[in-house]
Amino acid sequence: MKRIGHYVDGQQVDGGDRVGPVYNPATGEQTGEVALASASDLETAVSAAQKAQPGWRATPLSKRQDIMFKLRQIVTDRKEELARIITAEHGKVVSDAAGEVSRGLENVDWCTNLMQQLKGDYSENVANGVDVHSVRQPLGVVACITPFNFPVMIPLWMATTAIACGNAVILKPSERDPSAALWLAEAFAEAGLPAGVLNVVNGDADTVNAILDHKAISAVSFVGSTPIAEKIYTRAAANGKRVQALGGAKNHMVVMPDADLDSAADAAVSAAYGSAGERCMAVSVAVAVGEAGDALVEKIAERMPKLKVGDGTDPESEMGPLITQAARDRVAGYVEGASGEGAKVVVDGTEQKFDNDGFFIGVSLVDDVKPGMKVYDDEIFGPVLSVVRVDSYDEAVDLINANQYANGVAVFTRDGKTARQFEFDIEVGMVGVNVPIPVPIGTFSFGGWKRSLFGDTHMYGAEGFNFYTRRKVVTTRWPEPSESQISLGFPTH
């Protein structure tokens, strides 16, 4: 059985006796065991980061930028290899895993432009002989706590930006699929990153708590569920750390009566069931406005039997298993309980049978869903699409704006005025117009509103550089000796 340890100070280490299982979700078999870091393991990694960070901060921007270019080439050349590592431990199909890698590379591209992103400002002669300039400087040692559903993309969002800014990083990936993070650490080293600048520490909740309490860690980035995000934000902020904690989602897709319903149905199926619904930007609620309802449900239902659910390594598979058996059972519970809450189960994915012991479940469609039902209120994180019917555009907007989550939303319409008004009215961080999964490109930033985000800063792009740096303002004057005088008054211009 494969032993998965840590990556500290430029080399892989086994870790201690505390371990957790790693499975192949497509077979249900345990394929490895991952070391769960102790306080001592974390201390060793933080010490390595503290030792490496001053030299990395002093490294010229041109050399940092060159490492980013090399990293981009290494990951691009070996994308298939990395995608298969993702599939082996997460379960998503290889093509989807490759897409994840590509989206992560968008941020690496952004970081190759770090000279522009780290520029300061300068104003001369703001007062008599006085100049003022500002610079961006790194925070020091920062921690990145990443989720199981994107074991490459989100580390490339967080750690790459933090490193480009001159920080040293403690990366704590999900213990469910940890191997991809170790692969990335080796790729960084191959690209020329000095030892100790990126350290991968595997672990569980105890490890996370140790990170949140460690005095030498200046900032924490996190992606996960809302309850955990809130706890991380509260504890880390109480310890004086800068925090960005992205939480859960309940992404709605509004379908207006004038929409192209075939396009809307294709989009709903793609966005709801891709990666088995284990995406924080997955569409989990279709909001059918007026007469769109019956036709939309019919078109979605007729597409569902054609989906091929199977092992992610099978080129014919379109959707793989869920990450664990517990996740599979939890998702099934929402479908099985929906009718008892008054909803109508149109397609029951729990009835689909599979030939092996993997963590598979079929795709489900639930109609006549209303707020207050668990299938609506909770973040299911599985291949379940709920349909809520409303009579008007205003009712659709009110429904979405009343939801505690505000990560992503979409509207399908052929009317430009409706689309523009929707963008204006909706209280959600990322909006798609005829785009079901509006994940911004790397030049913008990713993040929701309300209880989908704890902290003030979104992830990657310009806001990522803001999060991982702090501003220093320098006021300069070079007076002649004859100009020196004592003045107890407040300085003025």
Query: In this structure, what token pair is assigned to residue 144?
Result: 């990145």
The one-letter amino acid at 280 = C
Task: Give, in order, the Cα–Cα distances in Å from 9 to each of 48, 56, 77, 182, 465.
Answer: 6, 13, 25, 13, 24
CB count, 10 Å around CB of 323?
Answer: 24
- Distance, CA of 330 to CA of 350 (rounded, Å): 11
- Distance, CA of 97 to CA of 90 (rounded, Å): 9
Contacts of 181 (CB under 8 A, 6+ apart): 7, 146, 151, 155, 171, 173, 200, 202
Backbone angles phi, psi at 34, to 5 degrees: -110, 135
CATH 3.90.1150.110 matches 1-246+451-472:
no
Identify the CATH number of the domain defined by range 249-431.
Answer: 3.40.309.10
Backbone angles phi, psi at 94, to 5 degrees: -60, -40
Q: Where are the domains of the chain?
A: 1-246+451-472, 249-431
What is the sign, positive or negative, of the torsion defined by CA atoms of 254, 260, 261, 265? negative
- Catalytic machinery residues: 280
With tokens 């199981």, the residue in question is 148
Residue 375 · residue 386 · CB < 8 Å: yes
Task: Give, in order, the Cα–Cα distances in Å from 5 to each of 168, 220, 277, 485.
Answer: 20, 22, 29, 63
- Distance, CA of 241 to CA of 42 (rounded, Å): 17
How long is the chain?
493
SS3 at position 383: coil
What is the sign, positive or negative, of the torsion defined by CA atoms of 416, 249, 91, 333? negative
Contacts of 92 (CB under 8 A, 6+ apart): 86, 100, 275, 276, 278, 312, 320
Largest CA distance in the chain: 91
Task: Give, in order, the Cα–Cα distances in Å from 255 to each of 291, 302, 345, 383, 430.
Answer: 10, 17, 20, 19, 17
Residue 280 · residue 341 · CB < 8 Å: no
Residue pLDDT tens, the chain, 493 long: 899 999 999 999 998 889 999 999 999 999 999 999 999 999 999 999 999 999 999 999 999 999 999 999 999 999 999 999 999 999 999 999 999 999 999 999 999 999 999 999 999 999 989 999 999 999 999 999 999 999 999 999 999 999 999 999 999 999 999 999 999 999 999 999 999 999 999 999 999 999 999 999 999 999 999 999 999 999 999 999 999 999 999 999 999 999 999 999 999 999 999 999 999 999 999 999 999 999 999 999 999 999 999 999 999 999 999 999 999 999 999 999 999 999 999 999 999 999 889 999 999 999 999 999 999 999 999 999 999 999 999 999 999 999 999 999 999 999 999 999 999 999 999 999 999 999 998 889 999 999 999 999 999 989 999 999 999 999 999 988 888 888 898 877 6
CA atoms within 13 A on the CB side of 268: 35
pTM of the model: 0.96
b/e 107-144 (16+ beta carbons within 10 angstroms → b): bbbbbbebeebbeeeeeeeeeeebeeeeebebbbbbbb
User: Measured in whole angstroms, how far is the alpha carbon of residue 299 from the centre of its chain?
Assistant: 31
- Distance, CA of 245 to CA of 263 (rounded, Å): 34
- Distance, CA of 268 to CA of 298 (rounded, Å): 12
